[in-house]
Amino acid sequence: MFTTCCALPLQLTDSSELAPIAFELATGSGRTVYNCLYLALAAKAGWAPALAKRRAVHVVLRVL
């Protein structure tokens, strides 16, 4: 399984790139910045509607 995971096309993203978006999402939604980092990554990559829960998608769309 480890070998399979290592073969995946993973891309690292520095959290400092996501922090401004995550902070904006957190202050607009009442969620934690930590949790909003995942939403920020999804929004940045264009995955928010596909990966986030329906409620979280509304937060992303409303704040951004």
User: Over 50: is that where the pLDDT of 51 sits?
Assistant: no
- The answer to whether 39 and 48 have CB atoms below 8 angstroms apart is yes
Position 6 in a domain? no
Asked if residue 25 belongs to a domain, the reply is: yes
2 part of a folded domain? no
The pTM of the whole model exceeds 0.85: no
* Closest to 58 (Cα-Cα) out of 34, 25, 32, 33: 25
Mean pLDDT, the chain, integer: 77
Better-predicted residue by pLDDT, 57 or 13: 13
Residue 26 lies in a domain: yes
User: What's the pLDDT score for residue 60?
Assistant: 57
Query: Tokens representing 18?
Result: 């996501």
Is the pLDDT reported for residue 34 higher than 50?
yes
Q: Identify whether 42 is part of a domain.
A: yes
Residue 37 lies in a domain: yes
In a domain, 22, yes or no: yes
Domain membership of residue 35 (yes or no) is yes
Report the domain count for the chain: 1
- Containing structural domain, residue 30: 12-63
- Burial class, 12, CB count within 10 angstroms (exposed 0-12 / middle 13-18 / buried 19+): exposed
How far CA 56 is from CA of 9, 12, 36, 49, 61, in Å, comes to 26, 23, 9, 9, 9
**What is the pLDDT at residue 17?**
92
